[in-house]
């Protein structure tokens, strides 16, 4: 979610469907203005070689999460506060923010090329490593804590998180795991029109299980294999059915901005932000809010910022705001961070590639899409695809399309290289048939001697 800095009470009131679809329409851009926004999270721990014990640091302790954020100011980042707590930073590379248990996230700036994206990632990781060296802190590029229980993890002082943590157990069994124990990589992409958005949304949603398989990197829970390759992805299946999933209506005739707005109106609320504080509205209706009947703010009607906040509280595999968010990948190391935007830019930012990708998936039934979504977290590239074959076979075809899409873009770096090189780590996964989680499991049962703590030697 984005970090709020103002309540927005002086903004125009949301009154009509036109107001509700305005953010999506405002996202329309000509192709020349399409950008790439990459978000990635990492797990933070106290290093043993610096006197620590691999625990997740709390917010307030010496060299804890607050001090990490404050240390980043030396690189030009400016603090954002909530109730006297620094809970995020803003700067030329976007924003650094905190997930519920102190997972550190970079929400990158909108950039034109993958070269710029990868440079941004490199700068960020160099910065946090430098501060980490001073504080005895390290970082894990995984999709989930491999050894921590919920009870062992701190909670950051952000008002929305308290509300969400109170609500999560009422609607699912694994929502607190999602908040406290997981990390992801996401990419945010543009569209030129409503029709362009629809096609990209459908391709992204249908192929999201492939991304889940390729980036599967969370095979351990509390020190032992959990039976999944991407337990992070499995967690979403039991978090909150009102705001997650594969969204069958996206593939129905007539899908567009209004249908998305209707869906979001039916997603229960979490909160309203007023005067620097989050007001608990968990489970309440945004439709009632529009009618001035929200019980926690009687007589008030929502502003554009309230609606934007609400758009950030649904968690399907692909999400629409004023851009499309691809949400299916586990957290990972530097090469995987660069590879995810390369995959989706290659597929979605060249018309020939987009058309070819749609041809691969357009005849799948909703039942087949759901089956692939359910199989990918557990068996990865061995999942069977509609029409025969496996996800590995599909991956070969999809990566071939992505390579052609990136080559057609012709975005070169200073050495004259195009963007296809960022797909190499995915080419290797498809070639071997082994996703990152399977390599971790091989090490666990082999050289690690079933000691999951060895994973700390394989961080960023």
At residue 185, does pLDDT exceed 90? yes
- How many angstroms separate the CA atoms of 39 and 88, rounded? 14
At residue 7, does pLDDT exceed 60? no
Distance of CA 169 to the CA centre of its chain: 21
Q: pLDDT tens digits, residue range 417-451?
A: 999 999 999 999 999 999 999 999 999 999 999 99
pLDDT tier at 2 (50, 70, 90 boundaries)?
Answer: low
At residue 6, does pLDDT exceed 70? no
- How many angstroms separate the CA atoms of 175 and 236, rounded? 7
pTM for the whole structure = 0.97
pLDDT, residue 335, reads 86
Mean pLDDT value of segment 143-151: 98
Q: pLDDT tens digits, residue range 85-105?
A: 999 999 999 999 999 999 999
Look at the chain and report how many structural domains it folds into: 1
CB 292 within 8 Å of CB 301: yes
Q: What is the mean pLDDT of the chain?
A: 96
Residue 11 lies in a domain: no
Which range marks the domain in which residue 128 is found? 17-457
Q: Show the tokens assigned to 389.
A: 């074959």
- How many angstroms separate the CA atoms of 288 and 272, rounded? 13
- How many angstroms separate the CA atoms of 41 and 38, rounded? 10
Residue 417 lies in a domain: yes
Q: pLDDT tens digits, residue range 278-315?
A: 999 999 999 999 999 999 999 999 999 999 999 999 99
Any alpha helices (H) in 141-256, and if so which ranges?
A: 159-171, 175-181, 194-214, 231-235
Residue 40 lies in a domain: yes
- How many angstroms separate the CA atoms of 150 and 222, rounded? 9
φ, ψ dihedrals at 45, nearest 5°: -145, 160
Could you tell me the sign of the dihedral formed by the alpha carbons of 160, 166, 170, 176, in that order? positive
CA–CA distances in Å: residue 216 to residues 98, 229, 234, 371: 23, 5, 11, 17
Q: 237 vs 10, which has greater pLDDT?
A: 237
pLDDT, residue 10, reads 74
Residue 335 lies in a domain: yes
Q: 154 in helix, strand or coil?
A: coil
CB neighbour burial string for 292-329, b if at least 16 within 10 angstroms, e if fewer: eebeebeebebbbbbbbbbbebbbbbbbbbbbbbbbbb
Spell out the residues 6+ positions from residue 45 whose beta carbon is closer than 8 angstroms to its own: 52, 54, 55, 56, 57, 137, 138, 139, 140, 456
Q: DSSP letter for 102, please.
A: S
- How many angstroms separate the CA atoms of 420 and 230, rounded? 26
pLDDT tier at 458 (50, 70, 90 boundaries)?
Answer: confident
Residue 355 lies in a domain: yes
The count of residues in the chain is 460
CB neighbour burial string for 156-195, b if at least 16 within 10 angstroms, e if fewer: bbbbbbbbbeebbeebbebbbbbbbbbbbbbbbbbbbebe
Q: For residue 79, what are the β-bridge partners?
A: 89
Q: DSSP letter for 391, please.
A: H
Q: pLDDT tens digits, residue range 42-91?
A: 999 999 999 999 999 999 999 999 999 999 999 999 999 999 999 999 99
The CATH number linked to 437 is 3.30.590.20
Residue 1 lies in a domain: no
Q: 201 in helix, strand or coil?
A: helix
Relative to beta strand 318-320, strand 271-274 is: unpaired
- How many angstroms separate the CA atoms of 45 and 371, rounded? 36
Spell out the residues 6+ positions from residue 16 whose beta carbon is closer than 8 angstroms to its own: none
CB 318 within 8 Å of CB 347: no
Spell out the residues 6+ positions from residue 276 whose beta carbon is closer than 8 angstroms to its own: 7, 82, 83
pLDDT, residue 126, reads 97
Mean pLDDT value of segment 388-395: 98
CA 13-18-19 angle, to 5 degrees, is 25
CB neighbour burial string for 103-113, b if at least 16 within 10 angstroms, e if fewer: bbbbbbbbbeb
């Amino acid at each position: 979610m984005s970090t709020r800095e103002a309540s927005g009470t002086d903004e125009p009131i949301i009154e009509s469907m036109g107001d509700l679809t305005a953010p999506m329409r405002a996202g329309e851009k000509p192709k020349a203005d399409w950008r790439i926004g990459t978000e990635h999270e990492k797990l933070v721990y106290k290093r043993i070689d610096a006197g620590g014990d691999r625990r997740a640091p709390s917010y307030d302790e010496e060299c804890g999460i607050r001090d990490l954020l404050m240390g980043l100011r030396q690189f030009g980042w400016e603090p954002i506060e909530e109730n006297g707590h620094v809970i995020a930073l803003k700067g030329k590379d976007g924003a650094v923010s905190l997930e519920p248990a102190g997972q550190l996230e970079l929400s990158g700036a909108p950039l034109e090329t993958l070269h710029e994206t990868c440079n941004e990632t490199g700068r960020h990781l160099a910065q946090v490593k430098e501060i980490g060296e001073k504080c005895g802190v390290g970082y894990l590029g995984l999709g989930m804590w491999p050894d921590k229980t919920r009870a062992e993890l701190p909670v950051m002082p952000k008002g929305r998180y308290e509300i969400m943590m109170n609500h999560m157990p009422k609607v699912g069994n694994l929502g607190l795991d999602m908040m406290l124990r997981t990390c992801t990589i996401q990419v945010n992409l543009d569209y030129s029109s409503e029709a362009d958005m629809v096609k990209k949304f459908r391709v992204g949603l249908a192929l999201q299980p492939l991304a889940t398989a390729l980036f599967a990197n969370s095979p351990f829970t509390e020190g032992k294999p959990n039976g999944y390759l991407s337990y992070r992805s499995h967690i979403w299946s039991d978090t909150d059915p009102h705001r997650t999933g594969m969204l069958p209506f996206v593939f129905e005739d007539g899908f567009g901005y209004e249908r998305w707005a209707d869906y979001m109106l039916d997603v229960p609320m979490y909160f309203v932000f007023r005067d620097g504080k989050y007001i608990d509205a968990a489970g309440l209706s945004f439709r009632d809010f529009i009618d001035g009947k929200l019980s926690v703010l009687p007589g008030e009607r929502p502003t554009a910022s309230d609606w934007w906040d609400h758009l950030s509280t649904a968690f399907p595999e692909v999400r629409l705001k004023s851009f499309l968010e691809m949400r299916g990948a586990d957290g990972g190391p530097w090469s995987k961070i660069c590879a995810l935007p390369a995959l989706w830019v290659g597929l979605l930012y060249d018309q020939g590639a987009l058309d070819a990708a749609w041809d691969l998936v357009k005849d799948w039934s909703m039942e087949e899409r759901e089956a692939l979504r359910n199989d990918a977290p557990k068996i990865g590239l061995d999942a069977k695809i509609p029409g025969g074959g496996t996800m590995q076979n599909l991956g070969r075809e999809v990566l071939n399309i992505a390579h052609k899409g990136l080559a057609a873009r012709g975005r070169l770096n200073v050495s004259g290289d195009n963007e296809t090189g960022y797909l190499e780590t995915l080419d290797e996964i498809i070639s071997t048939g082994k996703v990152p989680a399977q390599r971790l499991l091989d090490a666990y049962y082999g050289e690690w001697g079933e000691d999951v703590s060895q994973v700390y030697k394989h961080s960023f």
